[in-house]
Structure 1
Amino acid sequence: MLHNRVPHILKRLAAIVLLGLACVAAVHAQDVLRVSAIPDEAPTELQRKFAPLGKYLEKATGMKVKFVPVTDYAAVVESLATGKIDMAWLGGFTYVQSKLRTNGATIPIVQRQEDATFTSKFITANPKIKALTDLKGHTFVFGAPSSTSGHLMPRYFLLRAGIDPDRDFRTVAYSGAHDATAAFVQSGRADAGVLNASVWDKLVEQHKVDPDKVRVFAVTPPFYDYNWTVRGGLDPALRKTLTDAFLRLDPRNPEQKQILALQRTVKYIPTQPENYAGIEAAARTAGLIK
């Protein structure tokens, strides 16, 4: 009788062991915080900017922090929606897309203080272009199609000024990233373009663009833009730990000053979904979401 029960007992033991291993694997998986960012700059630059911040977040959370690069903006949205990443650096429009994709599950937690009044700069090397109305009939380059500051808001403000890029420009191109847009204009591949103010300032500081050749001829009104967003279902305690870690960053601390400088800010502030209602409205007006 006992002999007949042995296989059954062994099967139950095997099931218990497998269940235990699955639980251990699940706990182990939660020890890694997977972070990504919209690819609005070159991949090497994104990695350089994130490296010290990643180490800081490891200390703050006690977790291993892994940066997960993506190929395009849509991949960040989809990765947040499917739980492949836990947190991402998004533009305002990308956050709106993630909110719609997840029925409001994704949560923006912090933004740089500059992101509450962000702007985009229109640039050209053509001396005949001095105002937005002078763009008609010229070639123009945006950043990525899903970029807030490299496409959506500039397009929205152009439409408000009575200029339809698809109708009034000779050609419209998409460079894919802000630094690439500057390169397009500086090399003469486009008569004019638009990129976010922060990247423009950085390119000038790093002498990667010559302001004597390429100049800013118009600036958009301010709008809400970038933020750090977490996926739906992330442990609320971890979400609070991450939020607090960003808000604690202090420029008086030399190590943290470097982190903030790479992120081009001196302070993070809390943010909330309501801040991006204007971005969603602009996207609907521009026909970029239905």
Structure 2
Amino acid sequence: MCRCLFALLLTLVSVHALADTFRFTAIPDENEDKLVARFDRVADYLSQQTGLDVEYVPVKSYPAAVSAFRNDQVQLAWFGGLTGVQARELVPDSEALAQGREDAGFRSYFIANTSTAIAADQQRLPAALEGHSFTFGARTSTSGRLMPEYYLRQRFEQSPGELFSRVGFSGDHTRTIALVESGAYDIGAVNYKVWQDEVQQHGVDTDKVHVIWKSPRYPDYQWTIRGDVDQHFGQGTKAAVRQALLDMSDPELLASFPRAGFIPVSNDDYAPIRRVGHQLELLR
């Protein structure tokens, strides 16, 4: 009788531990409607695969995604390279779980309004960039700010403020494309996957804006989880979430990222991003 009661109590404790909602967020790197549609489906998938009650929590900015993770408002996040490093430095024992197959060798595209007459150069950033107006994406975007600024400083040995007539921050990649296409800015730096997706979906007029340079490869997006999830949601939670991400195979769900699939990754894989972040004083 005592053993049965003890087993029942253990079961109740386990159920209670797993009854809380497991929440995740993502950096707002694209149009909000697209993000909600994508990540609501991801929440459903994770719920089915792990047995957790999973909820997607949208945020308005890259720093807000990091803050939500730091404050335990979310336990998992789809971060860019830089925001992932920021979050893991703020939350002890947090861990990068998985990245898209493409994220091990990510890149930025520099795009220009065709009215600038800047010709594409696949060897190096065109010298004709100088003196034009330029927009980054979000201030802490890896592909829309960190690595583009790094390559600009390498090539021209000047800060963006010295190099361009005007410098802006669009907030997300789709907005960058729209601003350059409209002529509000002459040049911009974007996530290459967003550019390719917009072109495939006929969301950009390539008669008005085109790619003028493709950056070298670097590590970028990843799923990062807090180190205390097993304590709060039950032993094996981290492993179950990791496996669910690695097992994601629904073509429609993967296409919404867009990624071909997810592969294992570790915190150490983002050492190059950490180094550049400190170099540009975007990490403290």
Equivalent of 1:40, from 29, 33, 46?
Answer: 29
* 3-state SS of paired residue (1:111): strand
Q: How does 1:1-290 map to 2 (within 5 A)?
A: 27=16, 30-102=19-91, 104-125=92-113, 126-130=115-119, 131-162=125-156, 163-235=158-230, 237-250=236-249, 256-290=250-284
CA 30–279 in structure 1, closer or farther in 2 if over 3 Å, else same: farther
* 3-state SS of paired residue (2:244): helix
Ranges of 4+ aligned residues in structure 1 off by more than 4 Å: none
CA distance in 2, matches of 1:179, 1:269: 26
CA distance in 1, matches of 2:95, 2:246: 16
Instruction: Give the drift of 1:28.
Output: 6.5
One-letter amino acid of the counterpart of residue 202, structure 1: D
CA 165–30 in structure 1, closer or farther in 2 if over 3 Å, else same: farther
One-letter amino acid of the counterpart of residue 70, structure 1: V
CA distance in 1, matches of 2:197, 2:280: 29
Match of 1:20 in 2: none
Instruction: Give the drift of 1:157.
Output: 0.9
One-letter amino acid of the counterpart of residue 169, structure 1: F
Instruction: Give the drift of 1:27.
Output: 2.8
One-letter amino acid of the counterpart of residue 21, structure 2: V
Match of 1:7 in 2: none
Residues 28-54 of structure 1: CA deviation (Å, up to 9, x unaligned):
674311010001111111011112222
One-letter amino acid of the counterpart of residue 124, structure 1: A
CA distance in 1, matches of 2:16, 2:275: 41
Maintained 8 Å contact 2:98/2:222 = yes
* 3-state SS of paired residue (2:273): helix
Instruction: Give the drift of 1:100.
Output: 2.1
* 3-state SS of paired residue (1:161): helix
CA distance in 2, matches of 1:29, 1:150: 38
* 3-state SS of paired residue (1:212): coil
CA distance in 1, matches of 2:247, 2:131: 49
CA distance in 1, matches of 2:118, 2:90: 39
CA distance in 2, matches of 1:51, 1:101: 27
CA RMSD across the alignment: 1.8
- Computing the radius of gyration from Cα coordinates, the structure with the larger value is 1
TM-score by length of structure 1 reads 0.86
